[in-house]
Structure 1
Amino acid sequence: MRKRVSRERIAAAVLTLAGVALAAALTYNPRLPGPTELVDTLFRPVTIFIEHISAKEGGHLS
């Protein structure tokens, strides 16, 4: 039980520190890209691949 509480505290501390770091970074540079742009950048190749496969099959997924 004690180990679980310490894991929760570590997770809460990591998330809090990440939030503080993001807030500080956005304070100094408000034009930084947000999380949406990061997700878009990561999944853009997958999206292009799926669109390419979909176009080969006539545009319908089944």
Structure 2
Amino acid sequence: MTAKSELRSTPLGLRVTPSLKSAIEKAAKDDRRSMASMAELILTDWLENKGYLEKDG
């Protein structure tokens, strides 16, 4: 089941390097997203491309 069809979300805590956090902040701002939304998008895209997560559509 993909994230878009699921009704609930669950928290995920992780630590990243300051440079990675800064890059995500910049990408999120450029895309008018929150950092959490940007991180979720990046993870979803990677997992779909690698076949770990079923693609929507």
TM-score (norm. length: structure 1): 0.32
Q: Which has the higher helix share?
A: 1
State the structure with more CA Rg. Answer: 1
Q: Which of structures 1 and 2 has the larger relative contact order (alpha carbons within 8 angstroms, sep 6+)?
A: 2
TM-score (norm. length: structure 2): 0.34
